[in-house]
A and B are shown apart, each in its own frame.
Chain A
Amino acid sequence: MASPLSSIVLHILLALAEGKRHGYAIAEEAAAQSDGAVRLGPATLYGTLQRLLDKGWISTAEAPQGVDERRRYYRLTSAGRLALDAEISRMDNLVRKVRLARGKLIASK
Chain B
Amino acid sequence: MTREVIFICLSRLYRMMWALYPASFRAEFCDEIMCDFEDAADRAWIEGGWLSVVLLVIRDACDVARNLVVVWFRTGTLTLIGVSATCSALLFELVALQGVAPTNPLFVPLHLLWLATAGAVVLCSIAFARYHARSAT
List chain A positions with a Cβ less than 8 A from chain B: 2-6, 9, 22-24, 27, 41-44, 46-47, 49-52, 54-55, 57, 68, 70-72
Contact = CB atoms under 8 A, between A and B. Distances in A.
Contacts of B4: none
A70 B136 contact: no
21 contacts: A3-B134, A4-B137, A23-B32, A41-B63, A41-B66, A42-B37, A42-B60, A42-B64, A43-B60, A43-B63, A43-B67, A44-B63, A46-B32, A47-B25, A50-B29, A51-B74, A51-B136, A54-B136, A55-B136, A68-B35, A70-B34
B73 to A, nearest CB: 11
Interface of B: 21, 25, 28-29, 31-37, 39-40, 59-60, 62-64, 66-68, 70-71, 74, 134-137
A71 B35 contact: yes
B39 A43 contact: no
Contact of A70 (B35, B60, B135): B35
Q: Which of B21, B37, B64, B136 has the most CB of A within 10 A?
A: B136
A24 B39 contact: yes
Label chain B's interface by main secondary structure: helix
A72 B32 contact: yes
Contacts of B62: 41
Nearest to B29: A46
Contacts, number: 71
Contacts of A50: 25, 28-29, 74
Contact of B64 (A5, A43, A51): A43
Contact of A3 (B25, B35, B137): B137
Given A47-B71, A50-B28, 10 more contacts: A3-B134, A6-B137, A23-B29, A23-B33, A41-B67, A42-B63, A43-B21, A43-B66, A51-B135, A52-B136
A24 B60 contact: no
B103 to A, nearest CB: 53
B59 A47 contact: no
Nearest to A46: B29
Given A23-B32, A51-B74, A41 B136 contact: no
